[in-house]
Amino acid sequence: MTEPRAMTGRVTLGNGEVRDLASPGKRLVARIIDIVIIGFIVVVLSIVGFVGVVLGSATDEQALAGMALFVGFGGLALFSILLLLYEPTLIAVRGQTLGKMAMNIMVVRAEDGGVPGWGKALGRWVLPGLLALIPVAGGLLSLLVYISLLWDDRRQGWHDKMGTTVVVDV
């Protein structure tokens, strides 16, 4: 397999095709859009769940506090699960999340420019996903994975390298 080569914001894929690389700014905005979408869904579901529990049973403050804590952790778990389902699925099938669609960028296989498929999509997700599970330092380590594209000539973050993908303009 031939490694892609960069030419000032461009990359030559393994099949010889030359594509424009997505800028770090576009990638950041796409990520923010994706997080806002998932966060909105989680907030709505958490509020509905909390209101349902409150209206259904609890009467004393201690019970309400316990339920609020449960809903909070449930919201965090739901956010993680949705992120796990959302990003790898859309990358595998379309090469784009909703944020990437909005920013006109796409994840492609470095060897031929095709849609990544399940193996590469999960490969891109596994490193930041597992690092995020580490208490306290996990978030910073995941951030490092994503910003590593800033010092790579192909603008590949470590997660892109694990999935042998590049992010290009559409």
What is residue 57's predicted lDDT score, i.e. its pLDDT? 62
Mean pLDDT of 47-59: 66
Q: What is the mean pLDDT of the chain?
A: 86
Residue 62: per-residue pLDDT: 65
pLDDT, tens digit, for every residue of 70-114? 666 776 777 778 878 899 999 999 999 999 999 999 999 999 999
Q: Is 0.75 surpassed by the pTM of this model?
A: yes
| 2: pLDDT strictly greater than 60 | no
CA–CA gap between residue 92 and residue 115 (Å, rounded): 7
What pLDDT shows up at residue 45? Answer: 77
Q: Is the pLDDT of residue 6 over 50?
A: no
% pLDDT > 70, the chain: 81
